[in-house]
């Protein structure tokens, strides 16, 4: 079309990302969260929208104003739509009474997420259902639509005073840390406040505590018959030292508790089967091993163990709860010596439903037709909808196109909806038939995608240096004809490392292609969706294998004369930053590189980042395996680095701390390597605002332009 134009940085304000979809019980309406950027806002804006599945009404916005609106849930009778929101308190709240004492001023300075509710049958403003001082983490409706169960942080009086002190803006008190996991990215230094469950009577707003004691209870979910509330809890005594998340059931009046699993699994998500006699859940059979895919299991409700002394059952059911590493190393395997994890007394009597699959599984777990369970699964560079029957036989539903991926789904007996993202359309909501056919319900990205010359995205299949089958996404500028002059190349490395690049409308790659680059995204080994062995083969030895796979992709595009071998560039975020740091120490083929939020030295990262448990399972602990930590660190090749490197970091990133970027920057400066360090104030690991998102892209493009890349044309 003649009126199409190229991709622009300013287009970020027209991007829409759809997620957290919810389907009404009768299947007539879907609610979803739409995330976008707004000029002048420092973070994503997230609001609720709704659409009719039968064509009764087009997609329209439900919520506006300040605060993020998340986690929509329809009441079973279809009258109400409840959601979490960080907006300011309802002015009517004082009339219903505030269920807090005079110490409520200990609340965090920012508004915490509370449960709000829209009456969609008659319309009007949302009303506030809760006013918990530390906000709400999760909630679920009772089957009769008259009650809600929620999980909320519950400080003691002493903890409340501590929180008040450290949050005092004029004279903050010191942090006092006692937890093993003492910090976490985006949350800061961690306190000891536990999360417990509460039942809320919706008409009266009365709140009743269901759980208490020395452990947290999270992810509450009501059974379809209203007889049980399921939840997750780690009862080992120090949940920071392991990943043993067990599934429990409690009566809605708190009179009985059953422990359904026995400490041998890490439960990710669960659901009650329609027959009310079984539970389905996704769990890892090797809880502390991050590389092991979760699987789908089934368990009978009558298999549960009575937990009569629930508040005091910490450590029960284990031969040992582990956690402490002996100074005396037993044997030669220092990694195995450091894997001091809980040893349960028994194993959970589960039935494995999922067959051998190429990647992890994700919820929600949806009861489909013919006793099937519908869920999401990673498979060969996509996330797809899959139906599994009671025998473990599975059928792929959607998408049928290899250039698309599912990012969210919801369903019930009345229907199935999913958010699909593809490079030419972007993120949209679809109705999915039992056979997997998709019908679009939204076209929120159409104003952008139909007026831009989108770059062309395709899959490339090739072999690595050792013969391993590999796949990569290649993006080339619209209008490029094979045989034209070879293009400059950006190798864009995904994070994870147990993640993968999926075919979707990606703002970064479209921007770079608009400047004239080809963009290569290799799903290197370590990436999920290509089989357990493909993912796990890098455990404890990050670097060489992934780098070899990335360079095999570069070689392929050079052989095809698509890219210019003298204009190669490399960048990546998080694990992509780690691999960029590794790449510049192991090849001089890149004219320039840009590392975002990466790691440099795993010894100094241990304890300053929030990933100690991961390092412990992969490498042991640094004081017992310094050689292994050093060998896997990009800094081990510091004297080989000659490539000009732009280093970017967040001031408050505790996943890949700023200190890592500073260490690398100073090492390169001392050696005379061209480098710059860009620090984003108050930024965590994730990119949260439009100005930051555009600034980083512009800086990367400008850095590459200095070393032979296409010029960056200032935008009006």
User: For residue 94, is pLDDT > 70?
Assistant: no
Q: Tell whether domain 453-706 is in CATH 3.40.640.10.
A: no
Residue range 36-51: mean pLDDT, rounded: 89
What is the rounded distance in angstroms from the CA atom of residue 665 to the CA atom of residue 642? Answer: 13
| pLDDT of 107 | 43
| pLDDT of 661 | 98
What is the rounded distance in angstroms from the CA atom of residue 696 to the CA atom of residue 451? Answer: 25
| pLDDT of 307 | 80
| pLDDT of 3 | 66
pTM: predicted TM-score of the whole model, two decimal places: 0.95
Three-class SS state of 4? coil
Residue range 655-668: mean pLDDT, rounded: 98
% the chain with pLDDT above 90: 87
Residue range 667-690: mean pLDDT, rounded: 93
Give 3-state DSSP helix, strand, coil % of the chain, rounded to 5: 20, 30, 50
Whether the CB-CB separation of 528 and 499 falls below 8 Å is answered with yes
Tell which residue, 510, 469, 504, 465, has the closest CA to residue 490: 510
What is the rounded distance in angstroms from the CA atom of residue 660 to the CA atom of residue 2? Answer: 48
| pLDDT of 588 | 97
User: For residue 86, is pLDDT > 90?
Assistant: yes
Please give the backbone phi and psi of residue 52, each rounded to the nearest 5 degrees, phi first: -85, 135
Query: Sorting pLDDT into bands at 50, 70 and 90, what band is 25?
Result: very high
| pLDDT of 296 | 97
User: For residue 105, is pLDDT > 60?
Assistant: no
Q: Residue 383 CB: number of other CB atoms within 10 A?
A: 28
Tokens of 162: 């501590």
pLDDT (tens digit per residue) in 196-211: 999 999 999 999 999 9
Three-class SS state of 102? helix
The residue with tokens 């990367």 is 700
pLDDT (tens digit per residue) in 177-190: 999 999 999 999 99
The residue with tokens 């990205």 is 445
Whether the CB-CB separation of 217 and 231 falls below 8 Å is answered with yes
* Bridge partners for 471 per DSSP: 461
The residue with tokens 């498979």 is 379
Q: Compute the Cα dihedral for 61, 67, 68, 72 and give only its sign.
A: negative
| pLDDT of 110 | 62
User: For residue 518, is pLDDT > 60?
Assistant: yes
Q: What is the residue extent of each domain of the chain?
A: 453-706
pLDDT (tens digit per residue) in 598-625: 999 999 999 999 999 999 999 999 999 9
- Cα→Cα distances 160→103, 133, 153, 215, Å: 8, 10, 11, 17
Residue range 140-158: mean pLDDT, rounded: 97
User: For residue 103, is pLDDT > 70?
Assistant: no
Residue range 697-701: mean pLDDT, rounded: 97
What is the rounded distance in angstroms from the CA atom of residue 314 to the CA atom of residue 494? Answer: 40
Q: What's the chain's average pLDDT?
A: 93
User: For residue 97, is pLDDT > 90?
Assistant: no
Query: Sorting pLDDT into bands at 50, 70 and 90, what band is 252?
Result: very high
Residue range 545-572: mean pLDDT, rounded: 98
pLDDT (tens digit per residue) in 258-282: 999 999 999 999 999 999 899 999 9
List of long-range contacts for 551-554, beta carbons under 8 Å, 24+ apart: 551/465, 551/587, 551/589, 552/462, 552/463, 552/464, 552/465, 552/470, 552/522, 553/460, 553/462, 553/470, 553/472, 553/491, 553/520, 553/522, 554/489, 554/491, 554/520, 554/589
| pLDDT of 689 | 81
User: For residue 2, is pLDDT > 70?
Assistant: no
- Mention every residue, 6+ apart, whose C-beta is less than 8 A from residue 558: 565
């Amino acid at each position: 079309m003649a009126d199409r134009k190229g991709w622009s940085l300013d287009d970020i304000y027209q991007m829409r990302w759809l997620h957290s979809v919810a389907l009404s019980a009768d299947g007539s309406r879907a609610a979803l969260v739409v995330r976008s950027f707004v000029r002048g806002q420092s973070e994503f804006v997230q609001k609720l929208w709704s659409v009719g599945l039968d064509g009764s009404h087009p997609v329209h916005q439900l919520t506006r104003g300040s605060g993020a609106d998340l986690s929509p849930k329809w009441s079973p009778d279809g009258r109400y739509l409840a959601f979490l929101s960080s907006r300011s308190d309802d002015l009517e709240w004082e009339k219903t009474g505030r269920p807090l004492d005079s110490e409520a001023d200990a609340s965090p300075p920012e508004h915490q997420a509370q449960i709000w509710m829209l009456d969609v049958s008659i319309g009007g403003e949302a009303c506030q259902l809760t006013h918990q001082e530390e906000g709400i983490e999760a909630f679920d409706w009772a089957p009769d639509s008259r009650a809600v169960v929620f999980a909320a942080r519950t400080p003691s009086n002493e903890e409340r005073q501590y929180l008040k002190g450290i949050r005092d803006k004029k004279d903050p008190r010191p942090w006092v840390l006692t937890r093993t996991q003492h910090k976490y990215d985006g949350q800061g230094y961690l306190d000891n406040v536990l999360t417990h469950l509460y039942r809320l009577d919706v008409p009266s707003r009365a709140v009743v505590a269901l759980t208490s004691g020395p452990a947290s209870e999270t992810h509450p979910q009501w059974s379809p018959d209203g007889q049980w509330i399921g939840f997750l809890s780690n009862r080992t005594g120090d949940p920071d030292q392991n990943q043993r998340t067990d599934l429990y059931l409690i009566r809605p009046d708190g009179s009985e508790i059953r422990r359904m699993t026995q400490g041998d699994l890490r439960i990710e998500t669960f659901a009650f089967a329609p027959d009310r006699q079984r539970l389905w859940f996704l769990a890892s059979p090797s809880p502390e091993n991050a590389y092991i895919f979760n699987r789908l299991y089934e368990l009978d409700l009558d298999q549960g163990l009575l937990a009569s002394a629930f508040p005091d059952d910490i450590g029960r059911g284990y031969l040992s709860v582990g956690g402490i590493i002996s100074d005396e190393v037993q044997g030669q395997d220092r990694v195995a010596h450091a894997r001091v994890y809980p040893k349960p007394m028994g194993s959970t009597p589960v039935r494995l439903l999922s067959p051998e699959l190429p990647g992890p599984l994700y919820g929600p777990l949806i009861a489909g037709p013919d006793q099937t369970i519908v869920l999401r699964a990673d498979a060969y560079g996509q996330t797809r909808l899959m139906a599994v029957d009671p025998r473990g036989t599975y059928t792929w539903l959607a998408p049928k196109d290899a250039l698309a991926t599912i990012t969210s789904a919801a369903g019930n007996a009345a229907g199935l909806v999913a958010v699909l993202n593809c490079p030419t359309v972007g993120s949209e909501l679809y109705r999915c038939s039992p056979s997997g056919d998709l019908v679009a319900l939204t076209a929120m990205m159409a104003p952008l995608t139909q007026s831009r010359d989108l770059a062309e995205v395709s899959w490339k299949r090739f072999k690595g240096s050792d013969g391993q089958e590999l796949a990569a996404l290649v993006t080339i500028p619209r209008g490029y004809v094979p045989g034209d002059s070879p293009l400059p190349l950006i190798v864009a490395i995904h994070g994870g490392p147990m993640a993968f690049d999926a075919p979707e409308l990606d703002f970064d790659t479209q921007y770079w292609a608009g400047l004239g680059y080809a963009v290569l995204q290799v799903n290197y080994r370590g990436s999920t969706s290509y089989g357990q062995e493909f993912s796990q083969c890098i455990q404890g030895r990050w670097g060489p294998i992934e780098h070899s796979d990335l360079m095999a992709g570069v070689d392929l595009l050079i052989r095809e004369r698509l890219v210019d071998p003298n204009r190669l560039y490399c960048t990546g975020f998080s694990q992509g930053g780690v691999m960029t740091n590794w790449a510049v120490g192991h090849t001089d083929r890149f004219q320039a590189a840009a590392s975002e939020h990466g790691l440099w030295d795993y010894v100094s990262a241990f304890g300053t980042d929030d990933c100690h448990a991961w390092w412990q399972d992969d490498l042991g602990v640094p004081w017992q395996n310094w050689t292994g930590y050093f060998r896997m660190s990009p800094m081990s090749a510091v004297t080989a680095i000659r490539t000009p490197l732009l280093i970017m970091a967040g001031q408050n990133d505790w996943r890949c701390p700023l200190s890592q970027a500073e260490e690398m920057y100073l090492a390169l400066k001392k050696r005379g390597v061209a480098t710059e360090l860009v620090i984003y104030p108050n930024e965590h690991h994730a990119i949260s605002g439009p100005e930051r998102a555009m600034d980083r892209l512009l800086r990367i493009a400008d850095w590459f332009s200095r070393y032979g890349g296409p010029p960056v044309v200032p935008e009006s």
